[in-house]
């Protein structure tokens, strides 16, 4: 009986340790995921307020702020879902995605950050479609560009390139590459 009790106690400690590690990962992931849209929102707000602008410039800034606010809302909802259920692939449904549009809009939004005067440009082949989860793909691309900013040189350049070549989608930039095979 004592052996069974010790085994049950060790199992409980292992589960607790796993829970604490998951909580630490969640906290780290949450802060990382929310940093990018918040930086874009703050940058756009600061630029809009630094001097008088034309109404169309204000509309563009507010459009970017709204889009990033929606992204933050979706990220928060996703992270809350993550805390409620174990992360499994079936929890992230796959849909037909216009990867060209996703990569272009993400690159344009991330170009607004301009950390260390680093510029972001995109060479996106139009009409590249894949089956995937839009939220996860968007997060992956934001993380790749965010890391390129983080490890890039001052006044450097980030090029985001997307091409469909021989049934392989290649998404690359300075310091990163993502290959997706189309089946």
Predicted local distance difference test score (pLDDT) of residue 100: 92
Average pLDDT rounded to a whole number, residues 162-183: 65
pLDDT score recorded for residue 76: 80
pLDDT of residue 102: 93
The two tokens of residue 177 are 């590459």
For residue 183, give the DSSP letter. Answer: -
More confident residue, 51 or 140: 51
pLDDT band, residue 115 (cuts 50/70/90): confident
Q: Is the pTM of this model over 0.75?
A: no
Exposure string over 18-44, b if 16+ CB within 10 A, otherwise e: eeeeeeeeeeeebeebeebbebbbebb
- Determine the Cα–Cα distance for residues 123 and 43; give it in Å rounded to an integer: 24
């Amino acid at each position: 009986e004592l052996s069974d009790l010790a085994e049950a106690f060790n199992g409980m400690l292992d589960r607790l340790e796993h829970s604490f590690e998951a909580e630490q990962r969640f906290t780290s992931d949450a802060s990382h995921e929310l940093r990018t849209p918040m930086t874009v929102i703050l940058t756009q707000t600061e630029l809009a307020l630094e001097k008088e602008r034309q109404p169309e410039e204000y509309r563009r800034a507010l459009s970017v702020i709204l889009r990033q606010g929606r992204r933050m809302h979706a990220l928060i909802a996703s992270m809350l879902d993550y805390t409620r259920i174990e992360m499994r692939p079936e929890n992230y449904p796959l849909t037909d995605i216009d990867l060209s549009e996703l990569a272009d809009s993400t690159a344009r939004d991330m170009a607004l950050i301009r950390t260390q005067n680093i510029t972001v440009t995109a060479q996106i082949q139009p009409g590249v479609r894949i089956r995937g989860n839009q939220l996860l793909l968007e997060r992956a691309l934001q993380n790749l560009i965010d890391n390129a900013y983080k490890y890039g040189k001052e006044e450097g350049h980030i090029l985001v390139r997307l091409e469909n070549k021989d049934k392989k989608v290649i998404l690359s930039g300075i310091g990163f590459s993502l290959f997706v095979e189309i089946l």
